[in-house]
Structure 1
Amino acid sequence: MRATIYYRGSLSSCNYDCPYCPFSKNKDNAATLAKDRSQLLTFVNWVKAQEREGHRLALFFNPYGEGLVHRWYREAMIELSQMPHVDKVAIQTNLSAKLDWTDDLNPKNAAFWASYHPGQVDEASFLNQCSELHRRGLPFSVGSVGVKSAFSALASLRQGLPTDVYMWVNAFKDKKDYYTAADIAFLREIDPHFERNAVDYGSQGSPCSTGKDVFYVQGAGIVKRCYKDRTVIGHLYRDGLEGLSADRPCRMNCCDCYIGYIHMPELALSRVYGDHLLERIANG
């Protein structure tokens, strides 16, 4: 079968200190890091074995923290990108790590979701990292949270990026009616698809690919339908993909995050993002 797997290990620390993020306040000890490394190695070995089972996989790492500052995430990206049955391996990252290792990636299979954090990194440094990915021909998107205090920084970043790099903006939803019509028009100039993200999609009972051919895997192998749905549907290493797969309508009242609502068939967002749905690169 073809399946998409989101993987999140035990890592829960970041090298940035964003005030809105709880994981920037954590510092993982050596035992936790060793556990995260062991879990990731187990996952990579499981992925490798799926070639014999005839499965084709798309993989996305979205750790609670920054993964690429740790060698085992970089090594996993390289190894997975070169597996013939892995169609995509992507990671959510702040791009703070050195990028020389990316020379060993298969550029046809590897991709990056790069998050920009004004106040944590200067624009020139971040743009330099983006230029490194662009020069290597590695697909990537760039984006940030659309808080009003960051509007000027977002506009400046958009101007500094190559024109063929898609920049997304995540809507800030902690305050009701946060954006004026002028704000929305401004953000649409940066991200033509901003308003898709600004919506909370009523989803309870609606069809969703999660739990059928999209799975959220926690480090020990525990599998959930969706990262927001806490119900455990099985264990990756015990049940396998066929044992996990079933039609599972959404149990949540609404879906408000990109990595969730892109899997609602009724939205047909593959028409917008094509083969770059995971790393969030819009067509055109």
Structure 2
Amino acid sequence: MNINMPAKVSLYYRGSLSSCNYACPYCPFSKTVDSRETLERDRQQLDRFTGWVREQADKPYRLSIFFNPYGEALVHGWYRRAMVELSHLPHVDKVAVQTNLSVKLDWTAELNRDKVAFWATYHPGQTSEAQFVSQCMTLYGRGIAFSAGTVGLRESFAAIHSLRHQLPEDVYVWINAFKDRPAYYTPDEVEELETIDPYFRYNLTDYASLGQSCLAGESVFYVQGNGMVKRCYQDKRVIGNIYRHQLEDIAAERPCGMKQCGCYIGYIHMPDQPFAHQYGDRLLERIPLQYQAHEQGSFLGV
């Protein structure tokens, strides 16, 4: 057993789901339709994972869980039910999810709002700004932590400015850099986007990571639906299985084996970078400290 097991562990969970209810042209999952069998397998996998989390109550570590499937999770009831249950477990510190916020949010009233967070992505052309902002404000009014943002495509600049204008100033609006084309942005465009997302330049960077220290595989793990564990979503190496091994036996220092890391959910776990200091305990859901000064919902008297 690893006697140096960290006291806090973060798990990224990704099951068999690979479909989305949106059709964004830059996203491969918008072109996938899961079969009934695949959806049932995904449901069973998540039920098993939720049960495993429930059984970790006597472990010497606390868990934070982030659902980031290939597709939209919250259109499926099993993800909503899992978030509700996990948010009320004493040994779970956080349950977060990547979502397009396209579903009704009445169920969020059942969540333990002190432990949940939403990473909400705006997709211009797939939904109206008014609808997305309304969903965000529902979360805001209920005091549920969230960040909101979109891909920084040049044709979306006007929509990005408008989104920033429509949301309260204490809601962080992030911009994912579009990296499919080298040198996509001009210096003036980078400065323009930084007026909206002051951390945009960090996402624009691809970090030299080969051999560098990273918490992935030590206190951060990527769990697949079948229980297989990888240190990182980009690293193909399997380091264990939560249903066959104790997590404390899987955990170990594992320097990065990739040449570069350019995705937020990867590079934030490099301890030599400043992200832990910039985001504090809201690192997973992408809410910088400067946006945590006010309790979300306070402007609405919640």
Question: Is the TM value for this pair above 0.5?
Answer: yes
Amino acid in the other structure paired with 2:152: G
2:255 matched residue in structure 1: 249
Cα displacement string for residues 73-105 of structure 1 (whole angstroms, at most 9, x for unaligned residues): 000000000001100100000000100000000
1:63 matched residue in structure 2: 69
TM-score, L = length of structure 2: 0.93
Match of 2:215, SS state, is coil
Give the Cα–Cα distance (whole angstroms) in 1 for the partners of residues 169 and 129 of structure 2. 16
Give the Cα–Cα distance (whole angstroms) in 1 for the partners of residues 68 and 103 of structure 2. 16
2:237 matched residue in structure 1: 231
Give the Cα–Cα distance (whole angstroms) in 2 for the partners of residues 112 and 233 of structure 1. 28
Amino acid in the other structure paired with 2:222: Y
1:269 matched residue in structure 2: 275
Stretch of structure 1 that moved more, 97-106 or 53-62: 53-62
Cα displacement (A) at 1:241: 1.0
Equivalent runs, 1:1-284 vs 2, <5 Å: 1-284=7-290
Give the Cα–Cα distance (whole angstroms) in 2 for the partners of residues 240 and 21 of structure 1. 35
**Identity within the alignment, %:** 58
Match of 2:284, SS state, is coil
Cα displacement (A) at 1:117: 0.4
In structure 2, the gaps of 5 or more residues are 1-6, 291-302
Cα displacement (A) at 1:268: 2.9
Cα displacement (A) at 1:54: 3.0
Cα displacement (A) at 1:207: 0.5
Give the Cα–Cα distance (whole angstroms) in 2 for the partners of residues 195 and 23 of structure 1. 26
TM-score, L = length of structure 1: 0.99
Give the Cα–Cα distance (whole angstroms) in 2 for the partners of residues 53 and 277 of structure 1. 23
Match of 1:6, SS state, is strand
Match of 1:64, SS state, is coil
Match of 1:158, SS state, is helix
Which runs of at least 4 in structure 1 moved beyond 2 Å after TM superposition? Answer: none
Give the Cα–Cα distance (whole angstroms) in 1 for the partners of residues 287 and 140 of structure 2. 14
Give the Cα–Cα distance (whole angstroms) in 1 for the partners of residues 274 and 115 of structure 2. 23
Cα displacement string for residues 229-256 of structure 1 (whole angstroms, at most 9, x for unaligned residues): 0111111111121111011000000100
Amino acid in the other structure paired with 2:289: N
Give the Cα–Cα distance (whole angstroms) in 1 for the partners of residues 16 and 197 of structure 2. 32
Give the Cα–Cα distance (whole angstroms) in 2 for the partners of residues 148 and 240 of structure 1. 46
Give the Cα–Cα distance (whole angstroms) in 1 for the partners of residues 187 and 24 of structure 2. 28
Match of 1:142, SS state, is strand
Amino acid in the other structure paired with 1:227: Y
Give the Cα–Cα distance (whole angstroms) in 1 for the partners of residues 282 and 190 of structure 2. 25
Match of 1:44, SS state, is helix
Match of 2:272, SS state, is helix
Give the Cα–Cα distance (whole angstroms) in 1 for the partners of residues 258 and 61 of structure 2. 29
Match of 1:7, SS state, is strand
Cα displacement (A) at 1:2: 1.8
